[in-house]
Structure 1
Amino acid sequence: TGSTKSELTYMYILFFTDISPFPQNGGERIRSYYLIKALSQLGYSVIAVVRNVEKVDLQQYHLPNVTFYTYETKPFDLLTRITGKQYFQRSGELLGMFKEICDEYPISAAILDYGFVGHYISFFKSRHIPVILGTHNAQPMITWQLPSNNLFDKLRKLQLFSMEKLHERLYFNKAAAVVVVSDDDHVYHSRFLPKQKVFTVPNFLDQKDYHLFGKKQQRVLVMTANFGVYMNFAGLKWFIENVWDKELAGKYDLWLVGRGSKEALKRITGKEEYENIVAFGKVDDVKWYISVASAVIIPLVHGSGTRLKCLEAMALRTPIISTAKGVEGVKSRHFIVADEPAAFKQSLLNFDSETDKGERLQEDFLQEYSLEVNQLRLQQIVNYAIRDKKSAYVQPA
C-alpha cells in the first residue's frame, strides 16, 4: 500500500469460523481461506479464530496481516444433540477468546463465517462492533434434501430443519450484513431479511494458486468431492448405477479424489476398484488431479450454492461435464450439461478434449470468481457494515 503504520491506522477485523482452513482440501475450507486472504490483501489486520483439526503448523500457511488463534471443540453430548441446543448454546472458551482479542485489539468489525454461529452476534454488538455474518449455503434447504427412510429419520430431519430455520429467524437480522454465495441463496435470505443487508460474494479463488501442472491425460476423467457428504455420495451413486458402463470404461479411467472416496466406491459397488474407476481418498491438494484430467465430471442431483469443484476446474482450464444441479449458480455458458443418464453418457462419448477447450471457462472464472473481483465486493460489505464508525478510521489502501 506504500503506507507505514505511523501513517495509517489499520482496521482490525476479527474473523471467526468453525472450520479448519488448512490444508485446503474441501469446499468449506477453501471458502474460508480465501475470505481471510482477500481481507488481508485489502490491507486489514485480520485476527483469524479458526479450528486446526489436523494440527498443522500454521506458520506454513502464513498470510500477511493475519494473526491466527485456534480453538478446539468437544463433541456435543447426547442431550444437546437430541434437543438441538447446539444451535443456540455459546461456548465459554470462545467467549473468553473473543474478549481477550477485543481487549487487545481495536476491532472494527467481526466476520462470523460458516454454520450456525448467530448466537455470538450479541457479544460483539454489546461492544458496538458490527457483525458480518457469512453463510456457505441456505443450510435448512440442504437439510431438507437429506434422505429419510423411516419415521424416525423424517422426524429428525424435521427437527433439524426447524431448529436451523429458528436460528436464522432469531439471529440473522441482528447482523449488520449477511453474506451469501449465490443468487438463489440471496432470494432465500431476502425472504426474512431486509434486502439491503444481504450481499452476494460467490465462492472465489486466487488464479495465481492455480497453475497448470502438466499435459492433459486423454483417458482421465476426475470427480473431486468430500464423498462423505450426502449430496456428493448420492451423485456418485447415480452416476455409477445409471451412466457408467463397459463402453465408457473402455474409453476412460475415472479418478475419484477426496475424503471418503474409497469408502463410497466400496459402498456403491462392493469393490475397491470397479470398471476402471479408482478412488484416491483424501489428498492434501486436488489441483494436480484436476489439471491433468481431460475433463471434470460433476454428476450432482442435490445441493445448493456455488460449486468450488466447478470453480477449480475453470481456473485450471479443465472442461466440465455436469448435471444442471452441478453447475447451478455458476455463471458460464461453456459447460457441457446433461441431466438424463443417456444424455450424460452420450456427452462423455462425444467429448473431444481437442475441441472442447477449457480456456473459455477460465475467462469466465476471471470475470466473476477471481480474488481481485471479490476483494472489491468484500470491501463494499465492510464499508457498509462499519458505515457509522468509518469516520474514526483511515481506510486501507
Structure 2
Amino acid sequence: MKKKLHEDSLHSSKTYKKLVVITSRFPFPLEKGDKLRAYHQIKELAKHFEVHLISTSEQKVEEKHIDELGPFCKAIHVFPINSLQKLIGVSTKLFSRKPIQVGYFHHYSIQQKVNKLLSEIQPDHIYCQLIRAAEYAKNYHDCPKTIDYMDALSKGLERRSLNAKWIKKYIFESEYKCLMNYENSIFEYFEHHTIISKQDKQYIFHKNRSTIEIIPNGVDDSFLKPNPSITKNVDLVFIGNMSYPPNVTAAQFIVNEILPLLSAEIKVKIAGSNPSREVTKLTSNQVEITGYVDNIQNAYRSAEIFVAPMFLGTGLQNKLLESMALGVPCITTSMANNALGATPNQEILIADSAEEFAAQIQRLNESPELKQEIIENGRSFIVKNYEWSKVTDKLVQLMK
C-alpha cells in the first residue's frame, strides 16, 4: 500500500466535506477512458470537497503519477493487485453469480484495509467509479454513496459476444448476463447513480433507472486553446488505447475495409498506447502505427480527417470530443454519435459501412467549404456542451 498526504493547498480556512473516491485503476497516466474521467472529475471535485482517493492497481504506480493527483487530494491510498490475487479473484467468480471483472478488482485483503480507512476518515460522501469498485463501499452505510456506472458494461460485452467464437463466445455471453444482473442489483446499495450518456442509461435494467443522472465526459482546457500551426502529414487518423478490443476492431476496419475503397495515395495514422499484435500487423507504406505518443494533440492535428468506425463498446468516446475540440473534422458511426449528440452534416459526419465512410471522406476532400463548416460547428458544439467544469457541476450538486 502507498499512502501520501498533501497540504490542503486548494482550500483555505473554510471546512469542506470529506469525499472518498474509489477507483479500480489509478487515475494516471491518462491512457484509458476511465482514468481520464476519474482524473478530471477529481480535479473539479477538489474545488468543492476534501478528496481522499482510494485506488486499486494491477500495474505499478510510480511516484510521479501519484504527484499528478497530489494537488487535488488530501490523501492518496493505492492498493496493488498481484497476479495471484487476480487469478484467485477471477476463479472464485466463475462459481458465483458475480461478474468476473468484479472478482478481478475486488479482494478480501484489500477490503479489510478499505474498511479501516473508511472508519478513520468518516467520509461525508463516497463516490465509486464503475461497478468494479462498488463492492468496496456497498456495505458502508454511514454516509450517502454515489455509483458511477460510466458505461453500460454489459451491453458492450454483449456486442463483443456477437462476433466472438467458440470458448470466447461462451465466456462473453455468460459474463454479459452476470454484468447485466449485477448492474441491476448494485443499484440498491447506492443513494445516487450516474452514467455517461442517455444511450447507456437505457441499458441499465432497473425499475428506477429514470433517476440515473447523465454526467458526460469533457475535454481538457488545453484542447480548447487556439491551435498552433501543425503540418498535416496524413489524410486520416484514429486514436485510442490500441489494446482495447473496440479500438482494435475499428483500426482493422479502417485498414482492411475503408482504405481499399480510397486512393492509393491516402495515408493513415493509428496512434495510441499498447498496440496489440493485430494492430501492429496493419503497418504498411500507407499505414503508420505510432504506439504511444508524447503529444496526443499533435497526433490529432497532423491529420486532415479523424475517422472513428466504432461498432463495439459503449459510452461517450473521448476521442470524438478531443478531435472536434482541436478542429479536426470527424466521421463516426450512428452508435457513437448517439452518445455524443452532435448534429449530422453540420457538426459531424455519420457513416455505418465502409462504403459510407469512403463516401464521407471523399465529400470532405472535395469540399473545403463543407470541411470548414464541420470544423467550426464541431468545435463550437464541444465548447458549449463538454467543458469539464460544466459537465461536472451536476455531479458536485448531487454530492452536496
What's the TM-score bracket when you normalise by the shorter of the two chains?
0.7 to 0.9
Q: In the alignment, which residue of structure 1 is the partner of 2:51?
A: 46
Deviation of the 1:260 alpha carbon: 3.9
Q: In the alignment, which residue of structure 1 is the partner of 2:153?
A: 139
Deviation of the 1:294 alpha carbon: 2.0
Deviation of the 1:131 alpha carbon: 1.0
2:44 pairs with 1:18: no
Q: In the alignment, which residue of structure 2 is the partner of 1:97?
A: 113
Deviation of the 1:14 alpha carbon: 0.3
Deviation of the 1:239 alpha carbon: 2.3
Deviation of the 1:71 alpha carbon: 1.2
Q: In the alignment, which residue of structure 2 is the partner of 1:350?
A: 363
- Cα deviation digits, residues 79-120 of structure 1 (max 9, x gap): 335335656665234323323433333411000102433333
Give yes or no for contact 1:23–1:284 (8 Å, CA) kept in 2: no
Distance 1:3 1:223 in 2: 37
Give yes or no for contact 2:128–2:146 (8 Å, CA) kept in 1: yes
- Secondary structure of 1:226's match? coil
Give yes or no for contact 1:227–1:264 (8 Å, CA) kept in 2: no
Say which is worse superposed, 74-83 or 374-383, in terms of deviation.
74-83
Give yes or no for contact 1:142–1:304 (8 Å, CA) kept in 2: yes
2:138 pairs with 1:122: yes
Deviation of the 1:142 alpha carbon: 0.9
Gaps of 5+ in 2: 1-8
Question: How high is the sequence identity, in percent, across the aligned residues?
Answer: 16
Letter in 2 for 1:172: F
Deviation of the 1:65 alpha carbon: 4.4
Q: 1:123 to 1:149 in 2, by over 3 A?
A: closer
Q: In the alignment, which residue of structure 1 is the partner of 2:5?
A: none
Letter in 2 for 1:25: E
- Cα deviation digits, residues 31-88 of structure 1 (max 9, x gap): 11111112113x2111111245253312244433453211111322363353356566
Q: In the alignment, which residue of structure 1 is the partner of 2:317?
A: 307
Distance 1:66 1:361 in 2: 38
Q: In the alignment, which residue of structure 2 is the partner of 1:28?
A: 34
* Structure number with higher relative contact order (C-alpha < 8 Å, ≥ 6 residues apart): 1
TM-score by structure 1 length?
0.84
Q: Any residues of structure 2 matched to 1:199-238 within 5 Å, and which?
A: 199-208=213-222, 210-211=224-225, 212-217=227-232, 219-238=234-253
Letter in 1 for 2:119: D
- Secondary structure of 2:139's match? helix
- Count how many residue pairs are aligned between Structure 1 and Structure 2: 372
- Match of residue 367, structure 1, among 365, 373, 384: 384
Q: Any residues of structure 2 matched to 1:111-190 within 5 Å, and which?
A: 111-125=127-141, 128-147=142-161, 149-189=164-204
- Cα deviation digits, residues 160-210 of structure 1 (max 9, x gap): 122212322322221111111111122222x41424631100111232455
- Cα deviation digits, residues 340-391 of structure 1 (max 9, x gap): 22221122123248431323212111222111211321122213xxxxxxxx
Distance 2:358 2:216 in 1: 30
- Secondary structure of 2:72's match? coil
Deviation of the 1:290 alpha carbon: 1.0
Q: 1:93 to 1:366 in 2, by over 3 A?
A: farther
Distance 1:182 1:199 in 2: 9
TM-score by structure 2 length?
0.84
Distance 1:4 1:339 in 2: 49
Q: Any residues of structure 2 matched to 1:238-317 within 5 Å, and which?
A: 238-245=253-260, 247-250=262-265, 252-261=266-275, 263-267=277-281, 269=282, 273-317=283-327
Q: In the alignment, which residue of structure 2 is the partner of 1:82?
A: 94
User: Aligned-pair RMSD on alpha carbons?
Assistant: 2.7
Q: In the alignment, which residue of structure 1 is the partner of 2:71?
A: 63
Gaps of 5+ in 1: 384-397
Deviation of the 1:146 alpha carbon: 1.6
Say which is worse superposed, 114-123 or 159-168, in terms of deviation.
114-123
